[in-house]
Structure 1
Amino acid sequence: MVPHDVDFHTLGRHACLRLLGRVPVGRIVYTRQALPAVLPVNFRLDADSSVVLRTSAGSDLVRAVEGAVVAFEADEFDAAARSGWSVVVTGRAALVTDPGERARLARWGPDSWMPLRDGVFVRIAPDLVTGRRLSGM
């Protein structure tokens, strides 16, 4: 039996976004062939609080998420201390098509950790931002 020596706290939007800005990797959750799919990706949080990632223009991910509502989750945990946090952003994903915006993102990042020949940026609108913090007691 696991002792109940942890405490969960719901995080507000501002705290969630602050935590998201501290980590480089998260997971995009989307639908692929009518089934749930989860893919780890590196990302950046933009000034408007949207999640931005870079991927290949011809990827299955782009075809699956363009215009779709997706979830994006990032976290940080210390299993030994039984502490950490998890944040979920839910919103519509869209390819960045504006040339000026694409140029800005190309300078600012994120860079894909995978080699890309035809990189595109995907933006996830932060329509719903939720999070929880787990604290060891």
Structure 2
Amino acid sequence: MQLEPGEALRLLGTVGMGRVIFSQHALPAARPVNHIVDGEDIVVRLEDGGALAALAAPHDAPGTVVAYEADTIDPGTRLGWSVVVTGYASLVPDSDDRRCYADLLRPWVEGPASRALRIRPRLVTGFRLDVEQPSPTDP
């Protein structure tokens, strides 16, 4: 079942982890990150020197096109949901916002100073797996 964009963003806000999909050396790449949903925007933490640091477009630029995906699917029942957000990613310029996000987005490993990346959605899609699907081994 397809999800409306508002419901998809609401579900995204119920989990704390997802994957940023971006281009690295002209090839698709994905990295797991923790996130928060702030209004309709997705905010993730960037570690200086990490693979995602290259996505840090200046705040006055339109941003770098990325996708963000998160899901919750029970492997036993095969029930759950998946959401993909495609949009523009740019650094969070405001120092007060960065401090707030730093408190909310705890790093997995302590390291150098970090920044926050805001993804502004242009396309929000999602679906809910709400009916048990037959197993590939079922007749």
Range of TM-score over shorter length: 0.7 to 0.9
Distance 2:89 2:121 in 1: 10
Q: Does 1:33 pair with 2:28?
A: no
- Structure 1: which 5+ runs fail to align? 1-8
Partner of 1:80: 76
The normalised TM-score by structure 1 is 0.85
Amino acid at match of 1:98: D
Partner of 2:110: 115
* 1:65–1:38 Cα change, 3 Å: farther
- Structure 2: which 5+ runs fail to align? 58-62, 133-139
Distance 2:8 2:96 in 1: 28
The normalised TM-score by structure 2 is 0.84
Aligned residue for 2:77, secondary structure, equals coil
Q: Which 4+ runs in 1 deviate beyond 6 A?
A: none
Q: Kindly report which structure 2 residues correspond to 1:10-89, keeping only aligned pairs within 5 A, or say none.
A: 10-46=2-38, 48-64=39-55, 66=57, 67-89=63-85
Amino acid at match of 1:35: L
Aligned residue for 1:103, secondary structure, equals helix
**Count of paired positions:** 127
Q: CA deviation at 1:90?
A: 0.6
Partner of 1:3: none
Partner of 2:94: 98
Q: CA deviation at 1:54?
A: 0.9
Moved more, 58-67 or 85-94: 58-67
**Aligned alpha-carbon RMSD (Å):** 1.4
Distance 1:70 1:130 in 2: 14
Amino acid at match of 2:31: L
